[in-house]
Structures are given as structure tokens and as C-alpha cells.
Amino acid sequence: MDEQLQQARVALANGDAARALNLSENFLENNPLGQGRALASLIQGDAQLALGNEYKALFAYEDVARRHSSSTSFIPALEREYEIAKAYAYGLRKRFIGTFRWIDAGDDAQEIFIRIQERLPGSELAEKAGMELADYYFRIRDMPLAADAYDLFVQNYPRSKRVNKAKLRLIYSYYAQFKGPQYDASGLREATSRLKLLQADDPALAQQIGAEALLVRVYESEAAKLLNDARWYQSMGDFISTELTLRSLVKRFPKSIATIEALQIAPGVVAKLPENVAKGCPNYADLQSALIGTPKMAEPNGVAPDGVAPLPAVSETSSEKPVGNAALPPEDVVKAPAPPPTEPTPTPDQPK
């Protein structure tokens, strides 16, 4: 190793990044075709990184990755790039003209993660870069790209210790693409197929995440999508398409809540169809009876319901009477109040 590079490494280890940067740059200028350029570029990048200039450090690491891929500095340079890309992916911003950090660096993080996987395919570093790229898409809610990234990870690293996480995130990414009954339901179908595949490959993991409950949610969401389509056709006056959509809903999702609503509106739709078309429609009343049952009125059986005996009417003005010849005690005798005294009417012979 060149003495100048050795001094640069010592200075960098002692925390003197500025001296290490000067020594490495001087070596690169004085040795355009030297054997130690890969190490010098690596030291230059490390010095820039120590000084807080990670974006400038990327240029030095890229020089190693592009021009010295067979050197011993190649993998360390990619590892440094991975750490910088990870910081960018988690929100670190680039400096604006060397001052404040307010430039988003998400695109740079994506590019670095992809390059690492291309330069070191099948390696542990490439595996981590692939997972970080997928997680970045998942965090920013770009679910189509997240689903693609997790799917590629499962295909490229089937024996990875992170593959279970990738499988679960893949299912969630597909399911999250469904925004409601008014939107496309292709994500639901993909989520269903992945959930069933997970149940077949890893039943314990499927049970741990509640795959059955997720399948029920997907089942109901797909049924709600078809019901919404049928109602849209109905609002447009296309009753033939309405009936066909309702028929598909009842056939594919007979146990869904949407099917109950579909069977309630289907007879009214059939009544508005042409006679020759209505003849080919299923009997929705029989389907309703077979699938969910129809309420029946209670038939009379000739037995009158037990009545409740009314309380005896008691007159509020009736007075108590003695039983037999017994006399009531004085305090129990109800006496009528005495009338108020009236003045006697005077007669002609009586003085007033």
C-alpha cells in the first residue's frame, strides 16, 4: 500500500477527515493510472461521508463500482452506498447548494437499491437492498410498485429469512390496491390467490396472520364490487346487464351479504326485462328460499292464547261493610262530613 494512502487511512481512523480527504485527492491527481486508485476513491468517499457530504461520497463510491469491480474495495463501496440509500429512503434529504437539507432523495435511494441488486445478484447485500426497496414503496403507499418488488423478492430469494415478511407484505399490497366497490378489483383477486397459496405452503403462518378472516374480507369486498356494478347498470337503464351481473353475484358469492341485497332487488329487475329474456332468468324467489330462507307467517292452530285475567273493578265510592253482624271499630267507620250550618229562613211573625 502506498505510504500516502496509509497516512490517509490513519487520519480517517483518528477522526481527521479533512486531512484524509486531502491526501486521497492528492493521490488520485498524482496517480491517474496507479494501482491504488480503488482504495484512494474509497478513502475519499469515506472522508466525504465523515464530513457530512454523503452525496459527494456517492460519486467516489460509484467510481469504485464502475471502474474497479474486481478490486477488494468494490464490495465495501457498495455497502457504503447501501447505507446512504437507506438513510435517503427513511427521509434524509440532500443539501441545496451545500446549505439546507430540503431536496427529496427518494429517487436516488431507489436507483442505488436497484444497482446493488444488479451488481451483486444473489448476495446478502442484494437481498437487503431488495427488501429495503420494497419497504420504501410500501411506506410511501405506492402499492403497485410495492407488490412488484415483494413479488420479485419472493422469486429471487425463496430461502431468505425475510421471505415470510415479503409474502405477507405482498398480500397486503394487493389488498390495499382495492379502493372500494367503485374501483378495479384485480388486486382482490391477486390477494385471494396469494392467500390460498400461503395456506397451502405454510399453514402455520397463514393461521398466525388470520388468513381465513382475510379471505372473508376479500370475499365480501368482491361481492360488494359486483353489487355496485349491478346497481350502476340499473341506474343507466340497462336491465339486461343488471340481471346478468346479479346472476353472477349470486352464483359466485352465495354466502355474501351482497347476495342478500341482490336477491331482494332481482325480482324487480326481472319484471322490467322483455318477456323472452325474462323466461331464461333463474327463479330468484326459489334461490332466496334456498340460500337464505324466506320468513313465513305463523299459521293458526285453533288454540287461543292464554288470556290474562283482569283485575276486579273496585268502586272508589263504595264504603266498607261489616262481615256478618260484626261491627266496625269506631276509627274504621267512615262518616260523611256534616253539612255546613245554614241560617233559618225567617217567617213573617219572627223578627229578623
| pLDDT tens, per residue, the chain with 352 residues | 578 889 999 999 999 999 999 999 999 988 887 788 999 999 999 999 999 899 999 999 999 999 999 999 999 999 999 999 999 999 999 888 777 888 899 999 999 999 999 999 999 999 999 999 999 999 999 999 999 999 999 999 999 999 999 999 999 999 888 887 777 778 888 888 888 888 898 898 888 888 888 889 888 989 999 999 999 999 999 999 999 999 999 999 998 999 999 999 998 999 889 888 888 888 888 888 777 665 543 434 444 445 545 555 544 444 555 545 544 444 444 444 455 555 554 544 444 4
**Cell, residue 104:** 427529496
Give the three cell numbers for residue 51: 464530513
Residue 287 placed within a domain: yes
**C-alpha to C-alpha distance for 11 and 8, rounded to whole angstroms:** 5
Contact 219, 253 (CB under 8 A): yes
How confident is the model at residue 153, as a pLDDT? 96
Say how far apart CA 337 and CA 75 lie, in whole Å: 118
How far, in Å, CA of 12 to CA of 49, rounded? 11
Place of cell 431536496: 103
**DSSP codes joined into one string, 55-124:** HHHHHHHHHHHHH-TTSTTHHHHHHHHHHHHHHHHTTPPEESTTS-EEE--HHHHHHHHHHHHHHSTTSH
Q: In terms of Cα–Cα distance, which of 38, 59, 64 is closest to 48?
A: 59
Domain of residue 262: give its range: 210-294
203 part of a folded domain: no
Q: What is the pLDDT of residue 183?
A: 78
Residue 63 and residue 80: Cα distance in Å, rounded? Answer: 13
The pLDDT value recorded for residue 84 is 96
In-domain check, residue 247: yes
What is the model's pLDDT at position 332?
46
Indicate the residue type of 283: N
pLDDT of the residue at 102: 82
pLDDT of the residue at 336: 46
- Give residue 45's pLDDT: 95
| In contact, 170 and 150? CB cutoff 8 Å | yes
**How remote is the C-alpha of 175 from its chain's centroid?**
7
Write phi, then psi, for 340 (nearest 5 degrees).
Answer: -65, 145
Predicted pLDDT of residue 46? 95
Asked if the structure places residue 162 within a domain, the reply is no
Residue 29, SS3?
Answer: helix
Domain-located, residue 168 = no
Residue 58 in grid coordinates: 456517492
Q: How many Å separate Cα 162 from the centre of its chain?
A: 21
Angle subtended at Cα 116 by Cα 111 and Cα 118, rounded to the nearest 5 degrees: 95
Positive or negative: CA dihedral 260, 262, 264, 267? negative
C-beta neighbour count of 256 within 10 angstroms: 21
Q: Is residue 61 part of a domain?
A: no
Counted domains in the chain: 1
Task: Quote the DSSP letter at residue 319.
Answer: P
136 within some domain: no
pLDDT at 352: 42
Is 130 a member of any domain? no
Cα–Cα distance between 162 and 153 in angstroms, integer? 9
Q: Are strands 101-103 and 94-95 parallel, antiparallel or unpaired?
A: antiparallel
d(CA 271, CA 231): 16
CA nearest neighbour of 43 among 98, 85, 4, 88: 4
| C-alpha grid cell, residue 103 | 431536496
Please tell me the predicted confidence (pLDDT) of residue 1: 59
